[in-house]
């Protein structure tokens, strides 16, 4: 049986305030705007083909209250990117730190409280990170 061949196209992030989220993702994280209109914006990451869409959340608070999704953005220059973001007023929940599985991670939140990890995995990205011992 043939395996499905799919790839990530985009992720929709539901937000309370699209202009505030746009300032964060465009001006601080460096995403490029593809289109923007009232209640919606679509952006492309600097070095990749995937996009994110910012969509106003209708009828109440944005979904991050559930914390079911964490956004991961990879950057080779993690320390520099984090220093630049700190200078722009971004607060970190965790500054860059080597994790037990060997990746460098920093944790922060967007204006709506969506958890974000900025990380660098390098060659380890597509390798098994830890063995499970039974």
pLDDT single digits (tens) 54-81:
999 876 555 555 556 789 999 989 999 9
Q: What is this structure's pTM?
A: 0.80
Burial class (CB in 10 A: 0-12, 13-18, 19+), 77: exposed
Same domain, yes or no: 50 and 25: yes
38 assigned to some structural domain: yes
Whether 112 contacts 122, CB under 8 Å: no
2 assigned to some structural domain: no
Tell me the CB-side half-sphere exposure of residue 130, using CA atoms within 13 A: 8
Return the CATH number at 109.
3.10.180.10
Same domain, yes or no: 52 and 83: no
Stated as kind and residue range, the H or E segment containing 111 is none
Q: CB pairs under 8 A, 24+ apart, for 44-51?
A: 45/73, 50/8, 50/9, 50/10, 50/11, 51/9, 51/10, 51/11
- Taking the C-alpha atoms of residue 70 and residue 93, their distance in angstroms, rounded to an integer, is 13
Same domain, yes or no: 74 and 108: yes
134 assigned to some structural domain: no
> What pLDDT is stored for residue 133 in this prediction?
47
Same domain, yes or no: 90 and 110: yes
131 assigned to some structural domain: no
State the total domains in the chain: 2
The sign of the torsion formed by the CA atoms of 59, 64, 68, 72 equals positive
Residue 121, domain extent: 67-126
- The token duo for 102 is 């060997």
| 132: pLDDT strictly greater than 50 | no
| 127: pLDDT strictly greater than 80 | no
């Amino acid at each position: 049986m043939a395996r499905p061949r799919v790839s990530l196209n985009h992720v929709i992030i539901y937000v309370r305030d699209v202009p505030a989220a746009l300032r964060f993702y465009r001006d601080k994280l460096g995403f490029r705007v593809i289109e923007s209109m009232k209640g919606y914006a679509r952006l492309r990451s600097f070095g990749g083909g995937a996009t994110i869409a910012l969509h106003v959340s209708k009828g109440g608070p944005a979904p991050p209250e559930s914390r079911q999704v964490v956004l991961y953005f990879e950057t080779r220059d993690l320390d520099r990117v984090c220093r630049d973001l700190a200078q722009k007023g971004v607060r970190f929940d965790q500054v860059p730190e080597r994790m037990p599985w060997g990746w460098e991670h920093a944790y922060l939140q967007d204006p709506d409280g969506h958890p974000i990890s900025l990380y660098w995995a390098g060659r380890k990205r597509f390798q098994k990170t830890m063995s499970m011992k039974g």
